[in-house]
Amino acid sequence: MPPKIRGMTANFTSPASALRRFTLMVSGEDAIDAGLDQNEPPSGLPQERFLLGDRLPIAPVMLLGQSDLSVDPNEIIACLQPVHLHATRDHLILMAQSQIDLTVNESANLLQVALPFIEEDFGVKVLFQGQRDWFIPAGPFASLATHSIDQAHGRNIDWWMPRDTSEIGIAKLWRKLQNEIQMLWHIDPVNEEREQRGYPSINSLWISGIGKLADIQAPKFLGNTSQIYGDHPLLAGLAKYLGIPQQNEIHFSDLQNTFAWIERPESIWDNLRSALLSHELDEIEIIDFPKGQARHRIFTAKDLNKKSWAFWKKSEPLTWSEIISA
């Protein structure tokens, strides 16, 4: 059993605190089996809801981070993403975009083929094309309930496809457009070349993140954060929206009053521990999501070693695995 960690259930202190704090957020999973309504999937990953609020305006936040456009805070925007659906015996599985190695040229060529169909059904022009993400005003699709690729990848897409909410028939309209684009891309030279190179075909289009910047409900403590670290696509846009500097790599000489969300948090624990012991930091806050719910824990230098009933033994430092599994 992991050692008991002092303060493991404590909430974060007042934003007005003058303590030198580093806040580390650890990605969680959706709590599908945590007593939620199983008739439909949970809305968003816990870290998505924590950073943006329950309305999950992922698309406009990502657009803000990837472009220099002036984004209307009240315009409802959707994110379109070319994807690969992997066929199994009885269902389709959505592959993560990091697994498909889509190039800039491939993305541009695929969009050029699909653009007339997209803009006809949406009734507007595409706002911006990134390498993996295309952004467009949601138009008639604004009421769809959708799920990000981060949440739906690796799973049977039947449960994760867009659903109607306030208006019946919108999900059917989306599937019609999706099917048209699938047929276009099936015979496209881009996919012929990819298959010759042994890469998965780009055989479908995913829609998600529908919302507007005015829907953002960021955690209050970020208002007192001087730096955001991490390379997740959400962070660049959220930092720009909040007016906070953001960079992908952590500078360990600049940890005070900063927030980080990185792919491998265990890789920086030794550096953070050293910063506490050398009094460069007063405390480290770890935010994680057991059973899909946000948990805040505060660690000071006194909390870095295991507590033992054998008082004559030298205490050992807590490992990252012990901390995160507590």
- Point out the domain boundary residue: 196, 215, 234: 215
> In terms of domains, do 165 and 80 share one?
yes
Domain count, the chain: 2
> In terms of domains, do 194 and 281 share one?
no
Q: What is the pLDDT of residue 32?
A: 65
d(CA 105, CA 124): 23
- β-bridge mates for residue 83, sequence order: 204
Three-state SS annotation for 78-106:
EEEEEECEEECCCCEEECCHHHCCCCHHH
Element (H, E) at 137: strand 134-137
d(CA 201, CA 146): 23
Q: Show Cβ contacts of residue 283 under 8 Å, excluding neighbours closer than 6 positions.
A: 19, 20, 21, 22, 276, 298, 299, 300
Q: What is the pLDDT of residue 311?
A: 54
d(CA 228, CA 23): 10
The answer to whether position 75 is within a domain reads yes
**What would the pLDDT profile of 4-46 be if each residue is shown by its tens digit?**
343 333 334 444 456 899 999 999 988 765 444 567 788 899 9
The answer to whether position 246 is within a domain reads yes
> In terms of domains, do 59 and 93 share one?
yes
The answer to whether position 15 is within a domain reads no
d(CA 240, CA 287): 22
- Residue 79: give the domain boundaries: 55-215
Radius of gyration of the chain (CA): 22
DSSP reduced 3-state for 317: strand
Q: What is the pLDDT of residue 308?
A: 53
> In terms of domains, do 252 and 321 share one?
yes
> In terms of domains, do 240 and 184 share one?
no
What is the identity of the amino acid at 32? I
The answer to whether position 274 is within a domain reads yes
DSSP reduced 3-state for 60: helix
> In terms of domains, do 175 and 237 share one?
no
The answer to whether position 81 is within a domain reads yes
> Of 249, 280, 281, nearest to 267 (Cα)?
249
> In terms of domains, do 70 and 96 share one?
yes
- Point out the domain boundary residue: 181, 215, 249: 215
Q: What is the pLDDT of residue 98?
A: 86
What is the identity of the amino acid at 97? Q
CA angle 142, 177, 181 (to 5 degrees): 130
The answer to whether position 1 is within a domain reads no
- Point out the domain boundary residue: 199, 215, 231: 215
Query: Over its length of 326 residues, how does the chain's per-residue pLDDT go in tens digits?
Result: 333 343 333 334 444 456 899 999 999 988 765 444 567 788 899 999 999 999 999 999 999 999 999 999 999 999 999 999 998 888 899 998 889 999 999 999 999 999 999 999 999 999 999 999 999 999 999 999 999 999 999 988 888 999 999 999 999 999 999 999 999 999 999 999 999 999 999 999 999 999 999 999 999 999 899 999 999 999 999 999 999 999 999 999 999 999 999 999 999 999 999 999 999 999 999 999 998 899 999 999 988 876 655 455 566 788 898 888 87
> In terms of domains, do 161 and 307 share one?
no
Other C-beta atoms lying within 10 Å of the C-beta of residue 28: 20
d(CA 64, CA 245): 14
> In terms of domains, do 82 and 146 share one?
yes
For residue 231 the two structure tokens come to 């390379």
> Of 171, 142, 173, 140, nearest to 158 (Cα)?
171
> In terms of domains, do 316 and 200 share one?
no
The answer to whether position 230 is within a domain reads yes
> Of 282, 284, 290, nearest to 268 (Cα)?
284
The answer to whether position 169 is within a domain reads yes
DSSP reduced 3-state for 272: helix
Q: What is the pLDDT of residue 324?
A: 87
> In terms of domains, do 87 and 203 share one?
yes
> In terms of domains, do 117 and 136 share one?
yes
